[in-house]
Structure 1
Amino acid sequence: MTDITTALVNKSVEEAIQYLLEQYPGAVAFSTSFGQEDQVISDIIWRNQLPVRVFTLDTGRLFQETYDVMDLTMARYKQPVEVYYPDTTAVEKLVSTKGPNSFYESVENRKECCGIRKIVPLNRALEGVKVWITGLRAEQSENRQGMEILEWDEHRHLYKFNPLIHWGYDEVLAYLEQHNVPYNKLHDKGFISIGCAPCTRAIEPGENPRAGRWWWEQSQKECGLHG
């Protein structure tokens, strides 16, 4: 356990972010997809006026409901959200050569699409960042259960801070209700984990929260952003 991790133990999310800001002033950023967990963190950041860069990735294939909650969130908090888009040339080449739905054909094609639309823009957004705040929770998927509250991302050479890693889904919902935080209305229709529209479906009762992502393939349900 690092000294920084030890210092974060028993701190609230607000206190932990404040501590990290003191350690790495001007180099703490939060990536939001406007899902329920991310809305909790955004509310904590802006409610407490914490100077954290907040950014999002617009893949070009998002649900309208995601844009709606983005609009509501910016109107509610009156705070800027940096938007990062994929490289136009790379998207044009992908769609021109493989068509608009190549991701359905193989895991390799799907990861290629995720790479162009998400990972490359993410890496650009994280340039110069020392601490990347995420909304990951351990119970979201099997490969997230071993994640810690603070991890070293060797590939990007930064700390990844997962303040909600040990939160339960009920805790997330309770926070959103208590503070009247805007949320994506697709959550009310069985969409728990929301990504690109062609790659996300509602889940059935009892299914894993990530079961609705890339449902046609047998994979770890990850796009490469978090491993």
Structure 2
Amino acid sequence: MQELNLKALNTEFINKEPEEAIRFIVEKLGVSNVALASSLSIEDQVLTDMLLKINPKARIFVIDTGRHFQKTYDLMDETMLRYKFNFEVYAPESADIEEYVSKLGPNFFYESVELRKKCCEIRKVKPLKRVLSTVDGWICGLRREQSPTRQDMEIFEWDEGNSIYKINPIIFWSEEKVWEYIKAHNLPYNSLYDKGFRSIGCQPCTRAIQPGENVRSGRWWWEDPDKKECGLHLGGHSSVK
């Protein structure tokens, strides 16, 4: 794996288009050694479009938690047909699900923050670690505007938890700019966005929000907004390696 000067890269790419950051990392690390993590969000649909235009053989994966909305699965189908490619799909270990649901019931994640994080670990984090063990870098659709926990993230980072590079090409984009790209390129998106959803995850932990609420306030709405994350993006990040 090549050693990259992340501080210099973040200075160089701060005013460049996201496609340039994507093309750079794919060329540096190799198309088989970089993967885009897609939750089928509007941000990830934008990155899917950009990445596949750069390299149609690019790797894009989805973590199927088993609790997604049907609309999310419908969009997954539509996206594969649109671009004539297949997502890599990773799922939780059945033994983990069986153990916790048998002991605590199907809705145990509502009982405490600790149990909710355990559910996220089983359904999201462990499958994520499996796929990230096969690459040297991953691309994410994170934006600073989304959450207080994302205010310090940069375009190029070192993911200490997974010992790989992490690239956030649209970290400085606004939600409005994401929608502008979606509409300009006529990209497929989850129809739940038209019903008041602005951040879509597992069905039991996601709800529509009211005008003026934070974009992620519909996720784990019963928790402190300054701290809530599922664990996928809390691996310890640095812009200097």
TM-score (norm 2): 0.90
- Tell me the alpha carbon deviations over residues 39-83 of structure 1, each in whole angstroms, 9 at most, x when there is no partner: 000011123335421000000000001001111100111011000
2:161 to 155, 163, 185: 155
Q: State the SS of the aligned residue for 1:2.
A: helix
Q: Retained in 1: the 8 A contact 2:23–2:54?
A: no
Q: State the SS of the aligned residue for 2:60.
A: strand
2:173 to 164, 167, 173: 167
2:209 to 173, 180, 203: 203
Which whole-Å CA distance do the structure 1 matches of 2:22 and 2:152 have between them?
22
State whether structure 2 residue 126 is matched by structure 1 residue 120: yes
Which whole-Å CA distance do the structure 2 matches of 1:6 and 1:52 have between them?
26
Q: Which residue of 2 aligns with 1:180?
A: 186
Which whole-Å CA distance do the structure 2 matches of 1:180 and 1:48 have between them?
18
Which whole-Å CA distance do the structure 2 matches of 1:139 and 1:8 have between them?
19
TM-score (norm 1): 0.96
Q: State the SS of the aligned residue for 2:16.
A: coil
Q: Which has the higher contact order (CA 8 A, sep 6+)?
A: 2
- State which drifts further: 116-125 or 43-52: 43-52
Which whole-Å CA distance do the structure 2 matches of 1:54 and 1:90 have between them?
25
- Tell me the alpha carbon deviations over residues 156-197 of structure 1, each in whole angstroms, 9 at most, x when there is no partner: 011110001000111100100010000000001111000000
Write the letter of the residue equivalent to 2:111.
E
How many pairs align?
227
Q: Retained in 1: the 8 A contact 2:19–2:169?
A: no
Which whole-Å CA distance do the structure 1 matches of 2:84 and 2:162 have between them?
31
Query: How many angstroms does 1:4 deviate by?
Result: 3.6
2:93 to 71, 80, 87: 87
Query: How many angstroms does 1:21 deviate by?
Result: 1.5
- Tell me the alpha carbon deviations over residues 112-153 of structure 1, each in whole angstroms, 9 at most, x when there is no partner: 000000000000011131111000001001111111111111
Q: Which residue of 2 aligns with 1:17?
A: 22
Residue identity (%): 55
Which whole-Å CA distance do the structure 1 matches of 2:223 and 2:122 have between them?
19
